[in-house]
Every structure is written in structure tokens, then in C-alpha cells.
Amino acid sequence: MGKRSNFERRAADFYPTPRAAVVPLIPYLRGVKTFAEPCAGDGDLVRHIECFGLRCVHSGDIRDGQDALERNDYGGADCIITNPPWSRGMLHRLIKHLQNIAPTWLLLDADWKQTRQAAPYLPHCSDIVAIGRVKWIEGSKHTGKDNACWYKFHSRHTAGPVFHWREQSTDQASVQTLKRRICVQCGKAYEQWQRSSSRFCSPACKQQAYRKRLLVTPSVTALSVTPAVTAPSSELFRYVPHADVPRFVAEGWEVLPALDGTHHAEYSALMRRRVEQG
């Protein structure tokens, strides 16, 4: 159970977190600027995360007399990120306690989520990020015998987790870095990932800009072929059932991405046709 290897198990499950275990988590920390590490050990996890531009506002460990179960505030940290002990009794107490303070990312064994004892905690788990086996012993040629995952818990979340498959490449070159951008809708500066082509700070801004551009009204429904809506730019827009899309494409219509936050794409496609002036 937990961090198994051919080495003797360490007291208090003290295993420094290697950088390779942190890299797969970084893309899921978008919007996070500050974090707390209540089971910090010698600070390896803190140093790895801060290399990606995040700032640790609290770092503590039971070996220094700082019991994570006795602390109820982490200075307004955006989230908690830690590699806790995997012994089940302590682990479950930490989950219940930390998820009530802030969104909490915990590095755990992958098999935990499939056990009966995990059932009470999984409704409050929103994301599970697979990272594979971890080499816990520095300098060793061997990894641990357990696959590991990052689990995100928050008491306000009750819909259960989404599982994120392990990425094929987790080297440094594949990790996206933060970049400051300006939202084309609201004009505010925001942090975005360098490889992303997004021009909006949030899905809401993207949807507002798209609705404004297409002049699509709330009366448009998903199951019907609607009358064409004429925009000032002499373009026609309409929703078309998926089965009829090839016919409309042949007539010169172009398939557009579905509006964010709508269910139209499940039944039909949003299409556009340019109209010649004159």
C-alpha cells in the first residue's frame, strides 16, 4: 500500500517529490498564482512548482511541529498542493480537512480511487491526472511499484471526478509556460499558456464575443433548421442537423464551431454562408 518498492519503507512516508511527478500537473494549474504545501518535507515539491511561476505562501511539515490537521488557514492560497502520507487513516483525515480550506491537489496511488474506502471522498474529487510510476528514491534505477495520480478535492464540488489520461510526453519542452495576453472581448490582461491560440480570458468572454459577431438570438433551438439570420456583414447563419451538413457544404455553407456553453453541437451544426453584395 503506497509508495511500494524493494527498499525499506521510510518513517512517516517521507519521500521527496521528484520533478518528473510535478510536470504533468502544471497544465491543470491554470489561473493558480499561490499555493500552500502542508506536508512539505525538505521542500522539493515547493521548489519544483515555483520553477513554473507559482508562489508558495505557506510551507510546513509535521517534522517541524506543524500539523496540517491543526491548521485551518493558509493565508488565502489559491489552492493546496502536497504529496501526503499514503497510509489510509492519515490520508483520509487529510482529505476531509484540507478540502474544506481550499481546492486541494494530492499526489496518491492510482489504485486508491478503485477501493471501497475511497467512495465517500470521490464525489468531492473533480479531477484525476495520471502520471504513471514515480521514482521515489533519488539515484535509484527503479521506480515504485504503484502508478500514481494527482487528485483534486474541494468540498464545494459534488459531481465526482474527470479522469485525465497520461500524456505521451512529459519532458520540459512539452510543458506550456505562462504568458500575459489581452482579452479581445473585455480588454483585460490575463495569464494564458504560450501554445494556446485563445484570445479570451474566460469562456464567458469568448461566448459573448461569438454571439455578438454572429448575432445569434436565444430563440434559436437545437432540433430545428432555423430561418437564416442575416448579419450586417452579408453573411447567413443557421443551425443544420448533422445529417444535412454535407448537402449544405456542397451548396457553399461553412461549418463553424459550436457556441461555448450550449448543447447545440450535440444535435446540429452551426453553419455560415457568405452572400455576394449587389
pLDDT in tens, 48-81: 999 899 999 999 988 888 899 999 999 899 999 9
> Rounded to an integer, what distance in angstroms lies between the CA atom of residue 122 and that of residue 189?
35
User: d(Cα 272, Cα 157) in Å, to the nearest integer?
Assistant: 38
Average pLDDT over residues 23-27: 91
For the stretch 89-146, pLDDT in tens is 999 999 999 999 999 999 999 999 989 999 999 999 999 999 888 876 666 666 667 8
In the chain, where the domains are located: 11-174, 176-213, 215-278
Which position has the higher pLDDT, 167 or 52? 52
In the numeric block, the cell 452579408 is attached to: 234
**Model's pTM, two decimal places?**
0.56
Q: How far is CA 270 from CA 151, 209, 232, in A?
A: 36, 16, 18
pLDDT for the residue numbered 203: 74
Domain with residues 11-174, CATH architecture: 3-Layer(aba) Sandwich (3.40)
Contact between residue 40 and residue 49 where contact means Cβ atoms under 8 Å apart: no
> How many CB atoms are located within 10 Å of the residue 212 CB?
10
Does the pLDDT at position 168 exceed 60? no
Q: Which residue has the higher pLDDT, 233 or 224?
A: 233
Residue-level pLDDT at 226: 43
Distances (CA, A) of 175 to 29, 36, 167, 195: 12, 22, 11, 9
Please tell me which residue, 185 or 251, carries the higher pLDDT value.
251
